[in-house]
Amino acid sequence: MESQRSIKDRTPPGQRLTDGFPVLHHGDVPHYRDLSKWDLKIFGQVEQQAVIPYDEFMKLPRREYGNDIHCVTTWSKLDNVWEGFPVAAVMERVKLKPEAKFVMLHAEQGWTTNLPLADFLRDTSFFGIKHNGAELTPEHGYPVRMVVPHLYFWKSAKWLRGIEFMVKDKPGFWERNGYHMYGDPWQSQRYDFD
């Protein structure tokens, strides 16, 4: 159990703990007025692409998740409690082609981040809608953000709109700008030369 490990053992090398919840992103915060226009598109290496409208997405089974998050800029925040949807609930809507090995997460305004399929499918990865009891604020990714807690937090796309399955790994936004392709906080995989 996470909570039985000491705080020191839960803090990756080079990280400092914070009780706050810093806001970090590139570009503007989207403010949604009309969520009837929101959908999540699942495409790429799938037999048939799927588009899940907001109302339908919100009806997926919800779960509570507890985790620690580690940002590449050296802050870590322990004991987050989230409400979200399991990745498996969304994966029921598509049939993956056997060639699918990597995922590109697409956010509003064209922001992207890449990760291996196996990391996306881990049962600790999820679509987050609430953090510590409150609906996500616009700054933290409202209405839906990805949460992949075992990788640096830049892989946790805010304002998620698309999931693309790929044959080969491709760099997303920060990965094209010098960040690591994988981003394991326990291996300090911060930059492409780490």
Ligand X SMILES: Nc1nc2c(c(=O)[nH]1)N[C@H]1C(S)=C(S)[C@@H](COP(=O)(O)O)O[C@H]1N2
> Where do contacts with ligand X occur on this chain (CB under 6 A)?
21-26, 71, 107, 111, 140-141, 153-154, 156-159
Interface residue with Mo ion among 29, 35, 58, 71 (CB under 5 A) is: 71
Task: Name the residue nearer to Mo ion (CB basis): 45 or 76.
Answer: 76
For Mo ion, which is the closer residue by CB, 57 or 154? 154
Q: Which of residues 14-53 bind Mo ion (CB under 5 A)?
A: 24
68 or 165, CB closer to Mo ion? 68
Give the residue among 4, 127, 19 at the shortest CA–CA distance from 78: 19
Nearer to Mo ion by Cβ, of 132 and 177: the residue is: 177
Q: Is residue 75 within 8 Å of 16, Cβ to Cβ? A: yes
How many chain residues are in contact with Mo ion, going by CB under 5 A?
4
CA distances from 107 to 23, 59, 62, 99, 185 (A): 16, 21, 21, 24, 22
- Tracing tokens 């706050």 back to the chain, one arrives at 20
Supply the minimum distance, in Å, between the C-beta of residue 152 and Mo ion.
Answer: 7
Q: Least distance (Å) from ligand X to the CB of residue 183?
A: 10
State the binding partner of 114 from Mo ion, ligand X, none, CB within 5 to 8 A by kind.
none
CB of 52 to ligand X, least distance (A): 18
Q: Report d(CA 185, CA 40) in Å as an integer.
A: 28
Q: Is residue 154 close enough to count as binding Mo ion by CB under 5 A?
A: yes
Binders of Mo ion among 86-125, rule CB under 5 A?
none
- Least distance in angstroms from the C-beta of 15 to Mo ion: 12
Write the DSSP symbol of residue 148.
-
Which among 53, 166, 179, 27 is positioned nearest to 108, based on CA atoms? 27
Task: State which residue, 85 or 145, has the beta carbon closest to ligand X.
Answer: 145
Tokens at 21, concatenated: 């919840």
Whole-number Å distance between alpha carbons of 42 and 51 = 6
Q: What is the four-CA torsion angle of 147, 151, 154, 157, rounded to 10 degrees?
A: -30
Q: Contact residues for Mo ion (CB under 5 A)?
A: 24, 71-72, 154
